[in-house]
Structure 1
Amino acid sequence: MSVRDEREPLDPRTTSLYDYALFRHGIEPDGRVPRKGFPLPDGPSEPRREELTWRQGQAEVTDALTPLLRDPDPVRAAGAVHRRVAELASTGRSLRAHTARLTLTDEDTARRTARQLTRTGTDAAAVGVGMALLIRLGEAEDVPYLKALGMLRGLADTASAALDPLDRQAAALLVIRSRDRSGELTSLIDAIATGDAEAVRSALLSLPDEDRALWLGRRIAEAADLHGLLRARPQDGDLLALTGRLLHRMADQQDSRPEILDYGPARAVYEALVRHADRLPPTQEHRSLLLSIALDLHSGAPVLLNWRPGRRRALLHALDRLLPEAVPAPAPVAEPVLGDRRAEWFRRNRHLPFDRAEDGDRPRWEVVVVHRSADSSAVETRILADGIPLCPALFGKGCGNPPEYLIDSGRLRAGPEPREVQLVEAYCTEGCCGALYVTIRREGGEVVWDGWRGAVGPTPPPYRFDAAAYDGELARAERDHSWCWPARSTARLIGAGLRDRPELTARWELAPYWIGTDWRDPDTAVVHLRHEPSAPPPGTGGSLYFTWQLPGDDGPPQDRAAAALQRLETDDPKAFATFGGGNGELAAALGYRTPPRAAGA
């Protein structure tokens, strides 16, 4: 931390929060900051005003603070902010969020007041106002103060947001410390604090290849200066393998905006990885990793990076030359293990990112179905227009809907009547963070995509595609099942059978809810069914849910699906499927016990 400015606190009888943060850090024997930060000094409890809507809160904060931030005297303005925020009785979190959205008529004046608040402020709410202003107005000289205040409980998120454009490593360290609930990254934080690059490398390589350790992939790369480590050790095979895993994790759009789009040195790190990828031992794990990188570069979020002309295609060509050709399908085994799955996944996907590598071979409208990894059931439909993946470009809060929903169902087909289609739903459900919809219609010799709904940012323009080319590409995607593995094929065939013969489940007052493969076990087909009794017991209503699992075996998918459909002709699934919950009163009346919550849920 820097030496504190020689300025008096707003209240000479009270220590500024900045000085308090330095003091608390200084008395820690090991210098570590608790995950939640040091507790704030004793003071009045934070007030709450639940009755205010977001719009009302924004209006109140705007009216209260805007005049004060125009005062040219920063000491007087900061004192007024202290008094005014106490009168607002708003939570610190809401106050910071609203402050960050204020319209400022004089940024220089507001910056001076923000600095006075962060450097000499004594109240967390008022200091938070200053930090929120520095998200837009901060400069290099503000970094030491933001780093110190970020050590205090409740201020880390605002501090990291303000540090992001100024000092990415400092921001990343704050994010990791506050969000690493498992403690997996503590050794990395300690190593970074030493400034020893070799210690940082060792700590990075000791991280387990699991989501709980790598879910903060971008922040790990920024905090450890992965780009700098690669420049110093360009042929370090272990470091290259970790780089590939972090890049693939950053490109993943499963649960939020892909982090790769916010990782500054992303293009340079991709270049370094591919340039020296021949240093990786030729194991199946590394081949699968490089193929995953190729799939990301071909049709995933990394396409949206600001590539120099031809560079992304050159990286794909290099990976194509490096990866071995796919071997014939191995003989089936009774119980597939991860190594077998990886080999089979590689065989099925080896061609995908390279078949249309030349621009002239790629249609204007393209459908790419990607099974993201061998040990997962996640399959997404990536739709590209003029080479741009639409879901991350227009939405960015989840991956494309599965092919069973978009392709097998015929939803992407263009008919004379307009049809609205959901392309992607937010990872947390549509009701929380929305979904991306488009209306598809045929207009003469063209297929038109317009009527966008749910896009992030400006409304996208209409897309017009040659109808014959569109139909041809969709027909190709409907025929191409190379992404599919046996259990998924079984599930798809069951789904198709139930679409053709809805009476198989209707006779039991059931309807298919979702059909696919088990999230934790890709070799198990799963049929989820919803039960809505036509005559529910008096005083009840709603739905119940049942799960029918079909573990993998040696039989062909066609035979397994046919056997499942045949069983539905004679047996009520409610008698053999697992009850999965639903309306509690209805379940109790019909004799179903609500399943216990899974451990850790």
Structure 2
Amino acid sequence: MSAPDERETLATSLYAHVLALRAAAPDAPLPPGGLPLPRGARPPRDGAPGPRAREAWPAVTTLVRSALADADPVRAALALERELSAAGIRDRHVYAAVAALPPPEEARDRARALARALTRTGTTVTAVAAGLGLLVPLGEPEDVPYLRALGLLEGLGDRAARALAPLDRKAAAVAWLVRERSDALRPLVDALVRGDEQAARALLTGLSTTPRDLGRRQARYIAEAVGLTALLRDGPGLLVPAFGLLARMSEGPEAEIRAYDEALTLYETVADRARELPPLLGHRARLVTLVQELDSGDARLLPWPPGRRRAVLTALLTAVGEPENLSDPAASADWRRAEWVHRTARHLAAVTTAVEAGGRRAGAAGVPPTSRLRIEVAVGDLGEPTGVETRLLVDGRPLVPSVFGSGVGEPPETVLLNGALRAGPQPTEVRLAEAICTEGCCGALYVTVRRDGPHVVWDGWRRPGAPPGLPQAPAYRFDADAYDREVSRAERDLGWAWPARRTAWLIAEGLRERPGILARWGLRRGWISTDFHRPDVTVITFLGPPLRPDGTPDAEAATRQFLRHLPDDGRPPRERAAEALRRLAEEDPRRHPEPGE
């Protein structure tokens, strides 16, 4: 490209660049991630890394405040663009710093004018990012067309979406989805960008909403982008995809349901029509998941009117029905999943009945009493990658999503079956939840449990590594007798544990009681549980050096993790665990490595 051509390209604003690309090919599919930026939109760095975030933020703040002092927004925008480019500050730092900078009340109109000049005439990503950051709190309806256009550009979709969210949630969701690179979702995204509602609706009917194919956040953006609740009310044929999107938004850790503005309406509409769903095991499993989330998960924290959550929960439970083929494992490849549906639905119905009866059934098997503290073990759908977590409800509110956010409760083996929640004479610190990515990445939730006369107190909360801005966790004071009864009940209730999981627990218990079994081979115990994708397989892991060719441990080699997989063969868990312990005691388990070790 010649120098005059390059200057002409640089003089084209990003907004004008988008309009030109769309005018040239209005029906062309978007490239994965969005439309390409024009040449020169990201200033060259000459190999320099640019300022880090902590140095960039004060520099950006100073430059923006200086620009706000100029009464001419166009002149101020041009000067700010030059200064940001010269400083070599990355656009992500520019956006974050500006979005966190509340403009003075007396300068709001001037800041809005500057933001519009930057977004409509800016020729670099850094300048437009600054404008988008200013528009997050200052945008008005007239800014929506410009934000929608900029949201089509690669690298700007999420920033445009944040500015769009308070103005037009549907347009914001489309901007988020523009970044989507999944081949399965691209046709739907293209239809939404074109505004082709008929095509989007047709594509929605064939959308796979299983956890393997669709993320929780993707599900929420799709629901917002298509106007799901209105579509479900106004037209036939969308119950199954609407049900799938609702289930996906509600499921498990990092649930998106509380971020979805029309969650209550969608829950109520799906519950009213749930009996119209085809009688498939997969649908029944997801109905049970919805009930479980309404009972003890994020969905319970929605702003339900009095009595309405219970009515929705009851309607969904009624629609579950009785799965077939529970008596004959050979009759169905999904027998274990059907058993989970039956067992979990029965437990949730008993819990609901006990609460409605004011606790009169407290003490029945698996039914918690009415008290300040309630402990639930939530087992995920055994037809999907399965998690098991301990959920704690205080005064009817799920604790972990209330004060920690994206964490998942610890498995019962680490907070129940080992007595960690018992209140003894000495205060003990217990980890209640861990971020789904691990504590070292995004934190964990800890509490100190202590006995104080006739009470048990939870206080001394810690959230190491957790993001700032989470709600403050209060100190909780429980009646000691009621607390002890609930913890004891939860420890005894193993109705949630299927055979492979019980086998894993018995093996772990045996290795704790007999540490010499692995110490004999110079090994340490790792995690022992069930396979995440194959719940009927018990997994034993242990750590130590590999063996040399002569069969002796290589003390100079790095420690490795070794695995043993024990598929459920139908024998009682205690018998299978005893055999596994005997084999570990008699033979170094590294002598017969499994594939992939």
TM over 0.5: yes
Structure 1 SS opposite 2:155: coil
2:186 corresponds to 1:183: no
2:549 is matched with which residue? none
Question: C-alpha displacement at 1:107, in angstroms?
Answer: 2.4
Query: For 1:532-584, what per-residue CA distance to the aligned partner results, in whole angstroms no more than 9, with x for missing partners?
Result: 69x9867x46521101110121211111111111111201112224387xxxx
Structure 2 SS opposite 1:451: strand
Indicate conservation of the 8 Å contact 1:253/1:397, yes or no.
no
Identify which of 346, 368, 382 aligns with 1:374: 382
Identify which of 549, 570, 576 aligns with 2:592: 576
Q: Which moved more, 1:204-213 or 1:309-318?
A: 204-213
Q: Which moved more, 1:351-360 or 1:519-528?
A: 351-360
Distance 1:46 1:323, change over 3 A: same
2:474 is matched with which residue? 461
Distance 2:169 2:535 in 1: 38
Distance 1:325 1:349 in 2: 12
1:506 is matched with which residue? 519
2:115 corresponds to 1:120: no
Indicate conservation of the 8 Å contact 2:281/2:323, yes or no.
no
Q: Which moved more, 1:200-209 or 1:116-125?
A: 200-209
Distance 1:327 1:189 in 2: 38
Question: C-alpha displacement at 1:348, in angstroms?
Answer: 1.7
Structure 2 SS opposite 1:413: coil
> What amino acid maps onto 2:221 in structure 1?
R
Query: For 1:84-127, what per-residue CA distance to the aligned partner results, in whole angstroms no more than 9, with x for missing partners?
Result: 21222111122112211113213222111001111112222111
Structure 1 SS opposite 2:375: strand
Query: For 1:313-338, what per-residue CA distance to the aligned partner results, in whole angstroms no more than 9, with x for missing partners?
Result: 121222334433578952444x972x
2:406 corresponds to 1:397: yes
Q: Which moved more, 1:521-530 or 1:265-274?
A: 521-530
Distance 1:30 1:212, change over 3 A: farther
2:263 corresponds to 1:266: yes
1:109 is matched with which residue? 110
Question: C-alpha displacement at 1:504, in angstroms?
Answer: 1.6
Question: C-alpha displacement at 1:370, in angstroms?
Answer: 1.0
Question: C-alpha displacement at 1:198, in angstroms?
Answer: 4.6
Distance 1:172 1:331 in 2: 46
Question: C-alpha displacement at 1:38, in angstroms?
Answer: 2.2
2:148 is matched with which residue? 147
Structure 1 SS opposite 2:103: coil
> What amino acid maps onto 1:324 in structure 2?
G
Identify which of 273, 278, 281 aligns with 2:278: 281
Identify which of 538, 543, 547 aligns with 1:525: 538
2:487 is matched with which residue? 474
Distance 1:324 1:42 in 2: 60
Q: Which moved more, 1:355-364 or 1:413-422?
A: 355-364
Distance 1:329 1:285 in 2: 15
Distance 1:162 1:117 in 2: 14
2:57 is matched with which residue? 58
Distance 1:364 1:302 in 2: 19
Structure 2 SS opposite 1:75: helix
Structure 2 SS opposite 1:355: helix
1:563 is matched with which residue? 579
1:599 is matched with which residue? none
Q: Residues 406-417 of structure 1 correspond to what in structure 2 (within 5 A)?
A: 406-417=415-426
User: TM-score, normalized by length of structure 1?
Assistant: 0.88
Q: Which moved more, 1:312-321 or 1:144-153?
A: 312-321
What's the RMSD between the two structures over aligned residues? Answer: 2.6
2:340 is matched with which residue? 345
Identify which of 365, 368, 376 aligns with 2:373: 365
Structure 2 SS opposite 1:264: coil
> What amino acid maps onto 2:163 in structure 1?
A
1:497 is matched with which residue? 510
Distance 2:52 2:26 in 1: 44
Indicate conservation of the 8 Å contact 2:209/2:248, yes or no.
no
Indicate conservation of the 8 Å contact 1:37/1:154, yes or no.
yes
> What amino acid maps onto 1:75 in structure 2?
V
Question: C-alpha displacement at 1:182, in angstroms?
Answer: 2.5
Distance 1:128 1:459 in 2: 32
Structure 1 SS opposite 2:145: helix
Indicate conservation of the 8 Å contact 1:21/1:149, yes or no.
yes
Distance 1:271 1:26, change over 3 A: same
Distance 1:244 1:481, change over 3 A: farther
Distance 1:70 1:466 in 2: 60
Indicate conservation of the 8 Å contact 2:98/2:130, yes or no.
yes
Question: C-alpha displacement at 1:201, in angstroms?
Answer: 2.9
Distance 1:462 1:114 in 2: 44
Distance 2:49 2:408 in 1: 34
1:221 is matched with which residue? 223
Query: For 1:341-378, what per-residue CA distance to the aligned partner results, in whole angstroms no more than 9, with x for missing partners?
Result: 22111122112333232363332111111111022331
1:438 is matched with which residue? 447
2:362 is matched with which residue? none
Distance 1:579 1:195, change over 3 A: closer
Question: C-alpha displacement at 1:214, in angstroms?
Answer: 2.0
Distance 2:308 2:386 in 1: 32
1:356 is matched with which residue? 351
Q: Residues 66-77 of structure 1 correspond to what in structure 2 (within 5 A)?
A: 66-77=65-76
Q: Which moved more, 1:65-74 or 1:568-577?
A: 65-74
Q: Which moved more, 1:302-311 or 1:64-73?
A: 64-73
1:590 is matched with which residue? none
- Unpaired stretches in structure 1, ≥5 consecutive residues: 1-9, 581-594, 596-601
Structure 2 SS opposite 1:548: strand
Distance 1:411 1:13 in 2: 63
Distance 1:56 1:353 in 2: 53
Question: C-alpha displacement at 1:30, in angstroms?
Answer: 3.0
Distance 2:480 2:299 in 1: 29
Distance 1:155 1:212 in 2: 27
Distance 1:195 1:320 in 2: 37
Indicate conservation of the 8 Å contact 2:151/2:178, yes or no.
no
Distance 1:453 1:402, change over 3 A: same
Distance 1:541 1:453 in 2: 37
Distance 1:578 1:402, change over 3 A: same
Q: Residues 412-427 of structure 1 correspond to what in structure 2 (within 5 A)?
A: 412-427=421-436
Q: Which moved more, 1:28-37 or 1:563-572?
A: 28-37
Distance 1:101 1:349, change over 3 A: same
Identify which of 2, 24, 27 aligns with 1:27: 24
Distance 1:270 1:524, change over 3 A: same
Query: For 1:33-55, what per-residue CA distance to the aligned partner results, in whole angstroms no more than 9, with x for missing partners?
Result: 21222222222644376574432
Structure 1 SS opposite 2:208: coil
Structure 2 SS opposite 1:509: coil
> What amino acid maps onto 1:340 in structure 2?
W
2:14 is matched with which residue? 17
> What amino acid maps onto 2:346 in structure 1?
H
Structure 1 SS opposite 2:540: strand
Distance 1:79 1:385 in 2: 55
Distance 1:29 1:305, change over 3 A: closer
Structure 2 SS opposite 1:84: helix
Query: For 1:412-450, what per-residue CA distance to the aligned partner results, in whole angstroms no more than 9, with x for missing partners?
Result: 111121111111111222111111111111111111111
> What amino acid maps onto 2:378 in structure 1?
V
User: TM-score, normalized by length of structure 2?
Assistant: 0.88
Q: Residues 310-349 of structure 1 correspond to what in structure 2 (within 5 A)?
A: 310-324=307-321, 330-333=327-330, 337=333, 339-349=334-344
Question: C-alpha displacement at 1:281, in angstroms?
Answer: 2.7
Indicate conservation of the 8 Å contact 1:46/1:92, yes or no.
no
Distance 2:471 2:209 in 1: 38
Indicate conservation of the 8 Å contact 2:51/2:89, yes or no.
no
Distance 1:516 1:164, change over 3 A: same
1:88 is matched with which residue? 87
1:210 is matched with which residue? 210
Distance 1:532 1:386 in 2: 49
